């Protein structure tokens, strides 16, 4: 059914039932509260709004693939219904069960040519049930094209109300704010634009500014991966983007007290790129926040030595990673990109996980620097945990690290408690198993023994002079 026919048929219903409507609903329209009649409109006369805020990320992602959705065709209708159903399947099942028993309780809103402004999900569920032929709705006196701004205002106010927000994919609100900003900023100044969006979305102006800032970082992330406009790839990553946006706001400008001393904006650039890798790999919570969250003593970016080591190790771990080309003609781009991200995960996850854990341990040690007992006990526990019969432990490079560790311990005792070193030296000398010294090393061992004897004599002489 084309637009002209829909307008005519809907108008026939209005003319017939104007004096005896199904009901009356108060609607905020053109800056005033107006009482509008509610009519029972055949579902066959209605068309889904493909830019409905509930599925905006999905339809825009599809359009990025040049998969145009013609909502007036049976195929387009089915596609929108599938997106609406998948957007919140559990909630849809509950609402569908309620509709099956009680019918449509909440009135929808449509344009005079049948575009559903509020109630797309309800109409979809009624169509799925096949039980009712009608949709109870207020009919606006305009088409979408005749007053797009006023309709977007109305649509946003209804869709982003407190009750409805719960049913939305978290990413949708950021995209909605961006979409409205794009439309309104051409006609209004910055502050007026922000104020209007805040009013329509039922938020504070500060929240809208935050949404737009987070959306900017999200867009930059997608662009970095070559996923421009494919908003489905943001799913499950909202909290990480909120954190990263705050870090960027805090650190750019080289004045933050929460970053290491003397940092530069190019260091912040590195933080952003590294964060993108962890976001892509779906790191979240405390692990992700270790990068730069909170006071400078609580994260990697707060200490130059830790950050530099972490950064260099990360770039080394991810260097030369080859990824398959993106097939934008894929019949299921989301699955295709999810698979591409999974392959990225398979290649780098263990490496960046190890890097994060190593530097988290360094951060913990730094934080405990004034608690030597805690650190020393931690070191002893770590050494005890090593499987010393393992072949890897006997590797010369590993044994050299053991020597380095012992050397650090001995030097510390020598400096701070020299008397304690004597019984340890005696114990070590007594424990040497001479028979295990190889025949070719006997001469070298004899030289060591001679040196020990000489040094012992010199030490005895010095002590006698005290």
pLDDT at 374: 62
Lookup result for tokens 């096949």: 130
pLDDT at 440: 86
Name which of 64, 20, 11, 12 is nearest 38 in CA terms: 20
pLDDT at 398: 78
Pairing outcome for strands 23-29 and 32-42 = antiparallel
Which pairs with CB-CB distance under 8 Å and at least 24 residues apart come from 326-332? 326/226, 326/227, 328/64, 328/65, 328/66, 329/65, 330/65
- Tell me the Ramachandran region of residue 404: left when phi exceeds 0, alpha when psi lies from -120 to 50, beta otherwise: alpha
pLDDT at 281: 95
pLDDT at 199: 92
pLDDT at 39: 97
Name which of 312, 397, 295, 393 is nearest 359 in CA terms: 312
pLDDT at 373: 63
pLDDT at 263: 97
Strand partners for 138:
38, 109
pTM: predicted TM-score of the whole model, two decimal places: 0.74
pLDDT at 178: 95
How many C-beta neighbours within 10 Å does residue 26 have? Answer: 10
pLDDT at 162: 46
pLDDT at 455: 86
Q: Determine contact, residues 180/156, Cβ cutoff 8 Å.
A: yes
The low-confidence residues of the chain, meaning pLDDT below 50, are: 162-163, 166
SS (H, E, C) 45-81: HCECCCCCCCCHHHHHHHHHCCCCCCCCCHHHHHHHH
pLDDT at 413: 66
pLDDT at 369: 57
SS3 assignment, position 460: helix
pLDDT at 136: 96
pLDDT at 375: 59
Name which of 290, 414, 419 is nearest 362 in CA terms: 290
């Amino acid at each position: 059914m084309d637009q002209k026919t829909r307008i005519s048929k809907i108008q026939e219903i209005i003319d017939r039932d104007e004096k005896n409507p199904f009901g009356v609903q108060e609607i905020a329209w053109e800056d005033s509260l107006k009482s509008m009649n509610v009519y029972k409109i055949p579902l066959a006369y209605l068309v889904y709004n493909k830019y409905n805020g509930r599925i905006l990320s999905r339809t825009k992602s599809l359009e990025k693939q040049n998969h145009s959705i013609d909502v007036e065709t049976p195929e387009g209708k089915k596609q929108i219904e599938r997106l609406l159903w998948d957007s919140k399947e559990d909630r849809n099942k509950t609402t569908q069960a309620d509709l099956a028993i009680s019918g449509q309780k909440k009135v929808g809103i449509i344009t005079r040519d049948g575009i559903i402004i509020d109630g797309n999900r309800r109409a979809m569920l009624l169509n799925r049930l096949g039980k009712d032929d009608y949709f109870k709705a207020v009919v606006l006196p305009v088409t979408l094209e005749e007053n797009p701004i006023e309709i977007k205002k109305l649509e946003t106010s209804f869709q982003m109300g407190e009750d409805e927000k719960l049913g939305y994919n978290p990413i949708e609100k950021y995209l909605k704010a961006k979409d409205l900003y794009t439309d309104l900023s051409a006609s209004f100044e910055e502050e007026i634009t922000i104020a209007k969006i805040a009013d329509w979305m039922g938020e504070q102006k500060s929240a809208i500014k935050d949404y737009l800032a987070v959306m900017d970082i999200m867009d930059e992330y997608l662009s970095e991966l070559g996923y421009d406009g494919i908003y489905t790839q943001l799913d499950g990553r909202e909290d990480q983007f909120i954190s990263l946006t705050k870090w960027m706001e805090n650190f750019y400008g080289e004045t933050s007290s929460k970053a290491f001393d003397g940092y530069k904006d190019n260091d912040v650039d590195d933080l952003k790129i590294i964060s993108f890798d962890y976001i892509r790999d779906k790191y979240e919570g405390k692990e992700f926040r270790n990068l730069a969250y909170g006071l400078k003593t609580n994260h990697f970016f707060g200490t130059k030595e830790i950050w530099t080591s972490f950064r260099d190790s990360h770039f080394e771990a991810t260097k030369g990673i080859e990824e398959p080309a993106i097939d934008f003609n894929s019949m299921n781009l989301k699955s295709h990109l999810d698979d591409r991200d999974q392959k990225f995960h398979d290649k780098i996850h263990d490496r960046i996980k190890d890097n994060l854990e190593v530097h988290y341990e360094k951060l913990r040690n730094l934080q405990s620097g004034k608690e030597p007992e805690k650190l020393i006990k931690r070191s002893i526990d770590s050494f005890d945990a090593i499987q010393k019969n393992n072949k890897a432990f006997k590797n010369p490079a590993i044994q050299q690290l053991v020597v380095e560790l012992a050397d650090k311990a001995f030097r510390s005792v020598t400096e701070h408690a020299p008397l304690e070193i004597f019984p340890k030296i005696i114990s070590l000398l007594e424990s040497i198993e001479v028979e295990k010294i190889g025949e070719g090393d006997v001469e070298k061992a004899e030289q060591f023994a001679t040196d020990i004897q000489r040094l012992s004599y010199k030490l005895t002489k010095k002590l006698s002079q005290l």
